[in-house]
Amino acid sequence: MNQEKVILGVCLWLGNRFNLSVTGLRIVFAALFLLGFRMPYIALSPLVLYFILYLIMPKNQF
């Protein structure tokens, strides 16, 4: 694993799991949070979704 700074590690976990750009995921989450985006039919804000992902990700990853 590379030595990136992480707070909760959600974007790093998603990036490693699905072979995605960690920086891109961070930008997407930040943009959705700043724009106040809400998913249709689901009343979850990006911040709530981020914390849900934190709760379901394996804790022994890092």
Can you give the residue ranges of every domain in the chain?
10-61
In this structure, the number of other CB atoms found within 10 A of the CB of residue 46 comes to 19
Q: Quick one: pLDDT band at residue 59, thresholds 50, 70, 90? A: confident
Q: Which of 27, 4, 29, 33 is nearest to 16 (CA)?
A: 4
Residue 41 clears pLDDT 70, i.e. is over it: no
Distance CA 21, CA 24 (A): 5
- pLDDT value at residue 54: 93
Residue with tokens 């030595």: 3
In this prediction, residues 5-21 reach a mean pLDDT of: 90
Q: Tell me, what DSSP letter sits at residue 58?
A: -
- pLDDT value at residue 18: 95
pTM, two decimals, is 0.74
Burial (CB count within 10 angstroms: exposed 0-12, middle 13-18, buried 19+), residue 12: buried
